[in-house]
Structure 1
Amino acid sequence: MVTMTLVPDSEQLRTPAEQATSLFGELKRGRTPSRSDGQVSKSYTRGANNQEAVFVRNVDLKVAYATFAMHLSKEIKSKYFERLDQILDVEEWEIEDALPKLSSFQDFARTLIFYQFKWLPELTVSSSGVVAACWYTKNDRITVEFTGNRSCRWALSFRENEELELATGSCQIVNLESRLRPYPLHEKIFDGEAAEYS
């Protein structure tokens, strides 16, 4: 629904984040934001609600992530806290995209604890809200999507004898390392034995 909102001159000096916070407070109190004087602008009620949902989901994911934090190094904790802020930027979020699924992100965090990696994966989120870990080099790439219930789908590509090889599969997270063991990328990613899985 589109509503017309009157915005005073002082409102225009506030940052978008400050304006969004103000809108969220009024929406929570059951009011449509309005102003008594000033310049007329368009406000999308759905957009305001969407921004609030993005902010709340970011908090939810960070709270969930914190439950795993005692098992992770400072480097790992910082990397993905910052990445969540990049992904869930209320000013940049596309309204048609699904928010990251909590169970999917929790399985990503479990994987960081369960396996030792030679380098940390990039964290991405699909338009349907599925969280994925990505490792890539100039010629090789592996993507692991966390589908919930401690399961995942994986896809990889690599060059062998100048030929491009592709492979895909699905498994429980606890079996991911063994499923990828036949492929050259395994040695580039995994480092050492897996920890106890819980």
Structure 2
Amino acid sequence: MEDFKVPSFSEDLRIVVPPPSAGSGVDAEGASARLRAMRRILTGSAQKISEIQNIQPKSDTLAGQLSEKKVALKRLAASVGMHLDPNWRARLFANLDALMDPEEWAPEFTMPSEKSFSTFLRLVIYLHPTKRPGLGISPTGHFLASWSREDGRVVIESLNDDEVRWVISRTRGDLRESAAGKTKIYRVPDVISPYEPDHLFQDDDKILV
């Protein structure tokens, strides 16, 4: 599991990215890929998990509460298992076990959110990356996904109802650029596209979904 620090976010943080010029157009392959991505999250089990609600644990102990949450989150991931590579799904479950270890859990953290995890799963299904993300949990119970290489990094915090906060940084020669914002999962490729992030989500011939 990749270790990473999570930047602080401002609730009112927004980045406005100009749309492509009218003359640039959209290539047919890209348009087809976007259509397939929309179909994946608007139909079947991937659509159904968008309706999930947070569950209040019944246990009186921290270990019991975390155990209840882990069961709920794993069931959520299993319900969209057809979209996830079995090896990655097993690794995801192992990461959840590690992140929600009662011995390591900070008592001031909010319990992990099923709604945030639903957004995370739908984000992965939509982006269709071939590189496995590093996984984290914020103090507010939101799931964090990180993709990085030597010349760049993107961290995406999954909120409720398909909303995400994102931070991206890229290095080009001696110049380091960064940006951040808040958007819906289906807008992520558009708002980060000026930073040419495609290679951050790709890992040669490895298959994620």
Unaligned residue ranges in structure 1 (runs of 5+): 1-26, 29-47, 192-198
Comparing both structures, which one devotes a greater share of its residues to strand?
1
* Alpha-carbon separation, structure 2, partners of 1:79 and 1:161: 35
Q: Which residue of 1 aligns with 2:106?
A: 94
Report how far residue 113 of structure 1 moved.
Answer: 1.5
* Alpha-carbon separation, structure 2, partners of 1:71 and 1:82: 18
Report how far residue 72 of structure 1 moved.
Answer: 1.2
Higher relative contact order (CA 8 A, sep 6+): 2
Larger Rg: 1
- 2:139 aligned with 1:127, yes or no? yes
Report how far residue 190 of structure 1 moved.
Answer: 5.7
* Alpha-carbon separation, structure 2, partners of 1:174 and 1:149: 12
Q: Which runs of at least 4 in structure 1 moved beyond 6 Å after TM superposition? A: none
Residue among 112, 117, 125 paired with 1:113? 125
Q: Which residue of 2 aligns with 1:170?
A: 182
The percentage of aligned residue pairs carrying the same residue is 27
Q: Which residue of 2 aligns with 1:21?
A: none
Alpha-carbon RMSD across the aligned residues, in angstroms, is 1.9
* Alpha-carbon separation, structure 2, partners of 1:184 and 1:162: 17
Unaligned residue ranges in structure 2 (runs of 5+): 1-57, 204-209
- 2:192 aligned with 1:180, yes or no? yes
Q: Residue deviations 1:25-77, cap 9 Å, x none?
A: xx97xxxxxxxxxxxxxxxxxxx612211111111111111111122111221
* Alpha-carbon separation, structure 2, partners of 1:186 and 1:169: 18
TM-score normalised over the length of structure 2: 0.65
* Alpha-carbon separation, structure 1, partners of 2:85 and 2:199: 22
User: How many residue pairs are counted as aligned between the two chains?
Assistant: 146
